[in-house]
Copies of this chain bind each other. A is one copy, B any other.
Amino acid sequence: MNIETPIAKAIPTGERPGSRKVYQPGVIWPDIRVPFREVAVHESAGEPPLTLYDPSGPYTDPRATIDIEKGLPRTREPWVVSRGDVEIVENPRQVKPEDNGFAQGKHLAPQFAAPRRVYRAKAGHAVTQLEYARKGIVTPEMEYVAIRENLRRQEGEPFIRDGEDFGAEIPDFVTPEFVRDQVARGLAIIPANINHTELEPMAIGRNFLVKINANIGNSAVLSTVADEVDKMVWAIRWGADTVMDLSTGRNIHNIRDWIVRNSPVPIGTVPIYQALEKVGGIAEDLTFDVFADTLIEQAEQGVDYFTIHAGVRLPYIPLTARRTTGIVSRGGSIMAKWCLAHHKESFLYERFEEICEIMRAYDVSFSLGDGLRPGSIADANDAAQFAELETLGELTQVAWRHGCQVMIEGPGHVPMHKIKANMDKQLAACHGAPFYTLGPLTTDVAPGYDHITSAIGAAMIGWFGTAMLCYVTPKEHLGLPDREDVKQGVIAYKIAAHAADLAKGHPSARAWDDALSRARFEFRWEDQFNLGLDPETAREYHDETLPKEAHKTAHFCSMCGPKFCSMKISHDIRDAAAAQNDVAEGMAQMAEKFRKVGEIDVPVGAAE
């Protein structure tokens, strides 16, 4: 299939407005190149460019050649191989008809064709970042993450930090050793399957910048190879730090290959979806063997983290019987159905140690799924939810014993006054493993606007300590998100994550707000647009009122017209006062000065 045309048309490449892709090399590992987005400001500002975190990968590097049929460069492959503890899988698992839902002929999506080696740990070796960290090894992945989190701030450089972090241990400066220590203690993970060598490593942990995840997933039509790669690239362009591929149905295997090979961010999946496809959609027919086969299949492909709903235990299911909205996790309901059909404990729970052994051989991180999360305000913080959370804590320790990296999924729908209890209980029950929450939605009454109902909860739980926020799009509860929904979801969650970083007092957070506010105060309109989360939209809104190019350099506000705005006058006040040592004298002189400014004209504005 020649997919070049649709892909080339769809995939957005090139730098963001006013931005430049820059790289910082490592010190311990000089050949690593950590990407940043540098936003230049007008020379009148007398400020250096602002450095922003950049998960967008080579797609925003004009020097990079993008060819999705070849996939991204496999930069990590030498790092993985040089550790000497992996072997090439001589007989990697072959694609079976059921892997793609028995799609054939013109209904079968093309295989990703570029050849690739498949790795796994040598017998007796642990190849997880957790095991390396425990051994005191600072991997290239760890140094990469350390550099990335500092946003090119130098150690000792001054910064503003006045947050409330609720007991987090955010350092002034992130060193590779700090990353190693956090990973060793299980407080952070670096999802990095040894078979995802295209990855730009990132960390998820309470003591790092808050991250966001975007969900994508194919629908049942063939064109989705191009669509899903495009959606992944689109999501990371706007700032998604990881992407979950929630595809089901036909072609699930082949589409996943295209996504992983072209993704610079960690890819997560819910393997039970594919396992269910393999048994013809009959939950009762699921077996551990089918599930384990699916884990190996996806681990060999390079999936970085698996959502596994091993906390949905048989005795917890009746606790959901009187809920307003029952079980709302698909994986959770599949396992509940299996447990009830067999009246047996979940095989995910009973054979969890075997699962760990598979995960550990490829360094696939656990995302322990909250299959019993509340699906409504009425069900928040109930017995079923917290019973499962306790089990996830128990499983965390099992996974850690096997050297596996772990994060914990959280709700869901939670009113504001019950959010903090979720974080506190997770910290207590799960021994500090990173929390990864969906929202939470703080009210049920706004279908069509759940990116907003949930951004409120996400910002708060991020502040309280959640390490990664799973986005919710405006289509939640109503339909499948399209490209615009993905963007709206990512932007709402970038807002939530950054608001959380600010409130936590993350040392890298405040510089961004201050740079934008200075640009605003100094009427550097282009800078204000470019420093914002969505320069194109900000510019468009501005131009609806004042379309002329000249207005973007003018020293006035589009709301208040050319002769007067509140910022203009306070600018004058500031300058005058700064010039005076004696405030009283300065004020007197200011009184004189302002007599001369002349006419004030106050047209309409959005705020008084």
Contacts and interface: CB of A to CB of B under 8 A. Distances in A.
B495 A443 contact: yes
A537 B531 CA distance: 31
Range of interface residues on chain A? Answer: 35 or more
B340 A590 contact: yes
A192 interface: no
Contacts of A495: 442-443, 445-446, 449, 452-453, 456
A417 B160 CA distance: 14
A426 to B, nearest CB: 19
A369 to B, nearest CB: 7
Interface in A111-154: none
Interface in A406-447: 413, 415-417, 438, 442-447
| Identical copies of this chain, number | 2
A341 B570 contact: no
A86 B282 CA distance: 77
Nearest to A325: B521
B343 A588 contact: yes
A320 interface: yes
A556 B447 CA distance: 17
A265 interface: no
Nearest to A164: B417
- Name the residue in A576, A602, A603 with the highest tally of chain B Cβ atoms < 10 Å from its Cβ: A602
A508 to B, nearest CB: 13
A333 interface: yes
A571 interface: yes
A591 B340 contact: yes
A513 B479 contact: no
A504 B442 CA distance: 12
A544 B482 CA distance: 10
Given A281-B599, A325-B567, A564-B281, A605 B498 contact: no
A218 interface: yes
A510 B445 CA distance: 10
Interface stretch (A8-16, A66-74, A272-280, A293-301): A272-280
Interface stretch (A19-27, A200-208, A372-380): A372-380
Contacts of A542: 478-479
B453 A587 contact: no
B340 A604 contact: no
Interface string A571-594: 101101110000100111011011
A109 B284 CA distance: 73
A518 to B, nearest CB: 6
Interface string A468-482: 001011111111111
Given A325-B567, A444-B517, A607 B438 contact: yes
Interface in A202-224: 215, 217-220
A329 interface: yes
Contacts of A593: 340
23 contacts: A246-B605, A248-B605, A249-B602, A281-B601, A284-B595, A318-B583, A321-B578, A323-B570, A326-B569, A326-B570, A326-B574, A327-B566, A328-B566, A329-B566, A330-B607, A340-B573, A376-B514, A377-B502, A377-B514, A443-B498, A447-B532, A452-B452, A478-B538
B342 A591 contact: yes
Nearest to A413: B517
